[in-house]
Structure 1
Amino acid sequence: MLKALCRSLCLSLPLVASAQGASVVFLNPGYSNETFWVSYSRFMQAAASDLGMDLSIQYSERRPALALTQARQVLESAQRPDYLVLVNEQYIAPEIIRLSHDSGVKLFLVNNGLTENQARLIQEHPDKYAPVLGTLVGNDEQAGYQMLKELIALRARPGITRPIEMLAFSGIKTTPAAQLREKGMRRALAEHPEVRLRQVVYGGWGKERAFEQAQQLLKRYPKIELVWSANDEMAFGAMQAFAEAGRMPGQDVLFSAVNSSPQALQARIDGRLSVLMGGHFSLGGWAMVLLHDDAHNLPIDRDGHRDHQIPALQLIDPVRARRWLNQQGRDDYGLDFHRFSAEGHSADYRYPFLEAPVNY
């Protein structure tokens, strides 16, 4: 049943919740069978269905050129949506924002916001670029920092003076989230001179590439004890290489990762992942709440801001991992999205998901 639902979300056909609701197209940058981005879409659809919105999801299969083609088709369509939700993956957002000028479609960014230079360019040329309704990004830099701090604490022991050797697997260089997670990792590293970072490699978020990279790195650095990874797929690829070399994940070498896929949650329960951060799959769902309110003429900049970084990424211990595994089998994630809307609240209402992590 769950597999059938996930498969249906991989299609680019409109998923109609209500003929009266606001219409939204989400340009999903991931693969249509990629665990994280499919779960991201599921959460968005749960919010859309609950709020009576019409959501269509299009996957660009990690191909920026395809994402631009999809955006152009949406914006030039005779039946344009009310809102277009996009991700600044590989820096494509400014071109989509340019294409949307005078289209009447409102834009909202999730997960990867504009860089400072991109934001400045857009602000300086309002005649060429459409305004952006808002942005929701996660706490990627803090997550990268906290993940390494936790990992070091598990290996460091009082009185140990020998260096602790480490590898790091980052995502794609032109993805802001990857850059921020790596920045946080390096900030934590600067606080621990006993940890020796042997190399940072860019696994492109993929398991197979990280596996091949780890095979070569193990030959070069046989004494690695810590592996920091910007997502779960790369962690699993590296883990496979270490296991095939006779190194026991969770014992001989400790792994960390980001994402709350069922595989990652189970690995945290089993102890193969020693540190896990997750929860940012929810950003698209919270964006749907904001778009619902905007469509009802409710101000979404209640705190005076339209660009928000929210504490979506949080540490997942084995207890939380078991709970999240159980909840992922529910279509609505056990949440009533109406209760997060400003509808029916006073003018001083603040969105709770902007202030603190939501407890699933």
Structure 2
Amino acid sequence: MLKFLCGCLWWVGATFGTMAQATSVVFLNPGMSTETFWVSYGQFMQAAAKDLGLDLHVRYSERDPQNTLLQAREALQGPQRPDYLVLVNEQYIAPQILRMAQGSQVKLLLVNNALTPDQMQLLDAGKYPNWMGSLTTNDEEGGYLMLKELLRQHGPVPPNGTLELLAFSGAKYTPTSQAREQGLQRALREHPEVRLRQLVYGEWSRQRAFDQATLMFKRYPQATLVWSANDEMALGAMQALNGSGRTPGKDVLFSAINSSPDVLQARLQGRISALVAGHFTLGGWAMVMLHDDAKGVDIQRHGGRERKVKLFQLIDARQAQRLLDLRGREGDGVDFRALSAVGKPAAYQYPFSLQMVLK
């Protein structure tokens, strides 16, 4: 009996010892805990963490930067500090968290929104040895691709003819939103026949975009193109168009970014003409890098400190159906361990892409 009890205690101790040794990660999710994009983002991260043996905790700010700062303080100055803190420079809050992290021994990685050039100039990177850099997507290209695809589907414009465009950007003080808007402006420079009648900041919100679009469609009844920096705003604007008696996908062409079930269905039904997606996978790829760093890999040798991954791509009907079929388990078929740089040559580059999910 004594041997049995000792054996049990040894097994429990070994089990908890293994658990305690798992590399711990906290992700400060800037979105709502009911927000489709950020929930799917966190789910993909969890799938990666499980495959890689990481202990991941996702904390939602509910779109309140003050909540993010409070959560960061708890993670960085509390009694149970993680090995890594992953955060988003939403509303420009990253420098405050970097300063907060000084002396904590917690390593920090920025995703989605990196530091702005102005923030980089103001911060002395040498003061933050635990700051690992950033992992972002090609947001500018995403904004560019949407308008180009809208124009391709619209077809040629008669000589001296014009097209009227309405645009819904995200949050004014978020680098991701600004980058997508820059992509829009690049496409506009290439197509002088397109007249941008109005650009508004929908704050990523379906209801806000609905309210804005209701007024804009009355003000600009000739508008035939709508560019939206995310899916929620596109869906809100489409709802407003329905109220005017016109049909999305026929009378007015819409674009969107993201891969929520609603927008994927709209793409399949032809109500969304140009859909761009892929960046919900970014957090999962970040988990691969943190796993490698914890294993002693110099991840900067495999892509640099400020890393931009080409994740955005146009989603056709077949791919939209595939993403719908995978909903909630997009990471199940991805071998995250195989993507690790552990044991790979110095020239190895992480092959992160949406195709790993769509295959």
Q: State the one-letter code of the partner of 2:316.
A: D
Q: How far apart in 1 are the matches of 2:71 and 2:204?
A: 22
In structure 2, the residue matched to 1:171 is: 170
Q: State the one-letter code of the partner of 2:90.
A: E
Q: How far apart in 2 are the matches of 1:75 and 1:59?
A: 16
TM-aligned CA distance change 1:40 to 1:99, over 3 Å:
same
Structure with greater Cα Rg: 2
In structure 2, the residue matched to 1:80 is: 81
Contact map agreement 1:43 1:281 (CA 8 A) in 2: yes
In structure 2, the residue matched to 1:12 is: none
SS of residue matched to 2:56: strand
Show the 5 A alignment for 1:202-351. 202-303=201-302, 305-330=304-329, 332-351=331-350
Bigger mean CA deviation after superposition, 317-326 or 26-35: 317-326
In structure 2, the residue matched to 1:91 is: 92
Aligned-residue offset at 1:50:
0.5
Contact map agreement 2:302 2:350 (CA 8 A) in 1: no
CA RMSD of the aligned region, Å? 1.7
Q: State the one-letter code of the partner of 2:63.
A: R
In structure 1, the residue matched to 2:41 is: 40
1:195 aligns with 2:194: yes
In structure 2, the residue matched to 1:182 is: 181
Bigger mean CA deviation after superposition, 145-154 or 227-236: 145-154
Q: State the one-letter code of the partner of 2:51.
A: D
Q: State the one-letter code of the partner of 1:163.
A: T
Q: How far apart in 1 are the matches of 2:159 and 2:320?
A: 32
Unmatched 5+ residue regions in structure 2? 1-17
What whole-Å deviation, never above 9, does each CA across 1:284-305 have from its counterpart, x for those lacking one? 0000000000001111112461
Contact map agreement 1:102 1:130 (CA 8 A) in 2: no
Q: How far apart in 1 are the matches of 2:307 and 2:229?
A: 21
Q: How far apart in 2 are the matches of 1:235 and 1:104?
A: 42
Bigger mean CA deviation after superposition, 304-313 or 268-277: 304-313
What whole-Å deviation, never above 9, does each CA across 1:112-131 have from its counterpart, x for those lacking one? 0000111122226x44x454
TM-aligned CA distance change 1:132 to 1:166, over 3 Å:
same
Contact map agreement 1:327 1:334 (CA 8 A) in 2: no
Unmatched 5+ residue regions in structure 1? 1-16
Normalized per residue, which structure has more helix? 2
TM-score by length of 1: 0.91
Contact map agreement 2:275 2:315 (CA 8 A) in 1: yes
TM-aligned CA distance change 1:357 to 1:330, over 3 Å:
closer
TM-aligned CA distance change 1:93 to 1:190, over 3 Å:
same
TM-aligned CA distance change 1:49 to 1:196, over 3 Å:
same
TM-aligned CA distance change 1:18 to 1:253, over 3 Å:
farther
TM-aligned CA distance change 1:203 to 1:336, over 3 Å:
same
In structure 2, the residue matched to 1:3 is: none
Q: How far apart in 1 are the matches of 2:209 and 2:136?
A: 26
Count the aligned residue pairs. 341
In structure 2, the residue matched to 1:147 is: 146
Aligned-residue offset at 1:159:
3.2
Aligned-residue offset at 1:142:
0.8
Contact map agreement 1:286 1:353 (CA 8 A) in 2: yes
Q: How far apart in 1 are the matches of 2:194 and 2:308?
A: 30
